Amino acid sequence: MEQQIPYKIYLDETELPKAWYNMRADMSVKPAPLLNPGTCQPLTAQELSGIFCEELVRQELNEADAWIPIPQEIRDFYKMYRPSPLVRAYCLERQLGTPAKIYYKFEGNNTSGSHKLNSAIAQAYYAKEQGLKGVTTETGAGQWGTALSMACSYFGLDCKVYMVKVSYEQKPFRREVMRVYGASVVPSPSDTTEVGRKILAEHPGTGGSLGCAISEAVEVATANPGYRYVLGSVLNQVLLHQSVIGLETKAALDKYGVKPDIIIGCAGGGSNLGGLIAPFMGEKLRGEADYRIVAVEPASCPSFTRGKFAYDFCDTGKICPLAKMYTLGSGFIPSPNHAGGLRFHGMSSTLSQLYHDGYMEAVSVEQTKVFEAAEQFARIEGILPAPESSHAIRVAIDEANKCKETGEAKTIVFGLTGTGYFDMVAYEKFHDGQMTDFVPTDADLQASFDTLPKVE
């Protein structure tokens, strides 16, 4: 049996999932609803449809349907780069000398270099269906902006991307890729929005943050007829679309009768992890199987492991809905030295509830350890991993090393969410010994918790 498992388990396109899986349908305690920041009442579909596309609002609020069919046009686009391979990391296992069996689901095989295209194409499709002219969004490191630009050009939609200014300046090639796909890219904060002008007046020379860029993108979407705002992580709809990752992973493992013991994913806003674990968590929620599920986050932005489970704003300008989630406070800005992505102050409300209820674990890791793991992986498995993905690699290697000590042949699956070609400045810092590990103090975090909105 063992020898029969190939290095890469490919599914063919007829095995591409026909429906997304909605974990919330199987949760007995549902994630808390989004609240109107003005009234603190649950947002209605009508209120949300001023910001988001109508079908996406339905998906956001849908806690009843476990399966939501994937429209044929989206499946056709998926077929260009999916199903993605599930790789057995035989070479890494040999190098570690571990009895563990390690698999990774590789989502970096498309131009966006990450899993984000899985949701971008769905969100662009529904915007097109609704007859919209275009969409607005923010991007930090640039993977989401690239994915959305690709999806919008495919459907002939206008795409306005607010890119965090430091990234815009540090990653000019990311910006250029987005322009290849016809997007307009504005460094944020900018003078093109009211909220941007206000932030610039208060903090001249600021390099911006995801929270600022979200505020700008939402303002532009709500002020321009025919436009809506789209977001690449955190929201329920995004986790739903990303369930293709987990459904394919499970289908591939099932072919060989393999049951994972540990499933590991990096966690920024929670979309790749929520997608990877979806069908496995479904079995766990229904009492059919048990798995250890581990979220990995940076020690410099530790929302699960040190955050508060509370209602908070998703943006700096405080114009977005309030979400109940593990959060460090919307004013929290990770150290500028933090090079590994995963910078958002909050976490998906679905994953937050599951974590709160004990269905999954979380660990935080320091960035030099993350880059050590990234390089170890790159040198033996051939793929140059994104720093974000390397958080999961770190913990997969740590777990495999534990198996070496105990002699247990556990099966470990982790999400390799993307490639790191645009992250060479971070790799350079690591090589030159200029990378440090910044861990916020309790006092730093408390200052940020003090600004949490008072709800309930």
Positions in the binding site for ligand PLP (CB under 6 A): 114, 116, 143, 233, 266-272, 341-342, 386, 388-389, 417-418
Calculate the CA 73 to chain-centre distance. 23
Kindly state the smallest distance separating residue 24's Cβ from ligand PLP, in Å: 17
Q: How far apart are CA 332 and CA 209, in angstroms?
A: 10
Closer CB to ligand PLP, 5 or 244, in the complex: 244
Nearest to residue 313, comparing CAs of 243, 210, 230, 390? 210
Closer CB to ligand PLP, 140 or 440, in the complex: 140
Kindly state the smallest distance separating residue 116's Cβ from ligand PLP, in Å: 6
Q: Is 62 exposed, middle or buried (0-12, 13-18, 19+ CB in 10 A)?
A: middle
* Other Cβ atoms within 10 Å of 64 Cβ, number: 8
Kindly state the smallest distance separating residue 373's Cβ from ligand PLP, in Å: 14
Question: Under a CB-based contact definition with an 8 Å cutoff, are residues 110 and 83 in contact?
Answer: no
Closer CB to ligand PLP, 340 or 410, in the complex: 340
Closer CB to ligand PLP, 93 or 270, in the complex: 270
Per-residue buried b or exposed e for 177-198, using 16+ beta carbons within 10 Å of the residue's own CB: bbeebebebbbbbbeebebbee
Kindly state the smallest distance separating residue 389's Cβ from ligand PLP, in Å: 5
Kindly state the smallest distance separating residue 406's Cβ from ligand PLP, in Å: 30
Q: How far apart are CA 210 and CA 201, in angstroms?
A: 18
Closer CB to ligand PLP, 98 or 307, in the complex: 307
Kindly state the smallest distance separating residue 407's Cβ from ligand PLP, in Å: 32
C-alpha R_g of the chain? 21
Closer CB to ligand PLP, 98 or 417, in the complex: 417
| Maximum C-alpha span of the chain | 65
Closer CB to ligand PLP, 5 or 294, in the complex: 294
56 half-sphere exposure, CB direction, 13 A CA radius = 31
Q: How far apart are CA 450 and CA 454, in angstroms?
A: 10
Kindly state the smallest distance separating residue 325's Cβ from ligand PLP, in Å: 12
Task: Give the residue at shortest CB distance from ligand PLP.
Answer: 418
Helix axes 271-285, 236-255, angle to 10 degrees: 60
